[in-house]
Amino acid sequence: MAQKYLRVWKTLSRKTILEHGKFLTVEDHVVELPNGTTISDWAWIIIPNAAIVLPVTPEGKFLCFRQTKYAVQGTSLAPVGGMIEGNEDPFEAAKRELREEMGCEASNWVNLGSYVLDPNRRCATMHLFLALDAKQVTEPESDDLEDQELLVLSKDEIKKSLREGEFKIVAWAAVVALSLDYLDALKD
């Protein structure tokens, strides 16, 4: 099947309307749609990009946290992750986050891709990684604001947790699903 050429939106102008520290900027864009229609007040949200990591031990156990988040009711299961600092490379951020939050290093990394959070407002890009053969090398030095508990789950337990919606953030559910898919494909 021939691929149809799709036209993209054009940004005609942009104006910053809110700068709230290093974690949030909101812009007002004037955009032109592919059909020529102009929208004069398109909100554009800028938050830092992040690296999200699902570590797996040499024994095949999955490491994650049970934690609280301000915008999530109750608790959620969570992989390791955090904001990319300055011009930091996403892979370097992933390694840093794994070491800071769990005190672990991994010898085998799989890049699972980079994904935009909101298709029309962008918000941020989440860089997803699978860290195989993860081993604890030091004590964690996490500065997370949330309470969290380290969990060590079997493959069946993490699959069940994913199916039951215990990973309540889309990027977290995605890194788990993509990791499990990658690991299952290795068997084929």
CB of 1 within 8 A of CB of 25? Answer: no
* H-state helical runs in the chain: 90-102, 155-163, 170-187
The predicted structure's pLDDT at residue 144: 64
32, pLDDT greater than 70: yes
The answer on 56 and 28 residing in a single domain is no
Distance from chain centroid for Cα 1: 33
The predicted structure's pLDDT at residue 76: 96
The answer on 61 and 28 residing in a single domain is no
pLDDT digits (tens, 9 = 90+) for 35-80: 999 999 999 999 999 999 999 999 999 999 999 988 899 999 999 9
What is the domain count for the chain?
Answer: 2
3-state class (DSSP) for residue 113: strand
pLDDT digits (tens, 9 = 90+) for 65-74: 999 988 899 9
Both tokens of residue 135?
A: 């081993």
pLDDT class of 2 with cuts at 50, 70, 90: confident
Domain contains 122: yes
Can you tell me the distance from the alpha carbon of 59 to that of 54, in angstroms, rounded to the nearest whole number? Answer: 14
Tokens 């020529």 sit on residue: 36
Domain contains 4: no
pLDDT digits (tens, 9 = 90+) for 93-132: 999 999 999 999 999 999 999 999 998 888 899 999 999 9
Domain contains 1: no
Nearest of 10, 132, 140 to residue 82 by alpha carbon: 140
pLDDT, mean of residues 23-35: 95
Q: What are phi and psi of 49, to 5 degrees?
A: -70, 160
The answer on 35 and 102 residing in a single domain is no
pLDDT digits (tens, 9 = 90+) for 123-152: 899 999 999 999 999 988 876 666 889 999
Report strand pairing: 108-118 vs 72-78: unpaired
Tokens 């407002």 sit on residue: 121
pTM comes to: 0.91
pLDDT, mean of residues 12-41: 95
The boundaries of the domain holding residue 85 are 50-187
Q: What are phi and psi of 158, to 5 degrees?
A: -75, -35
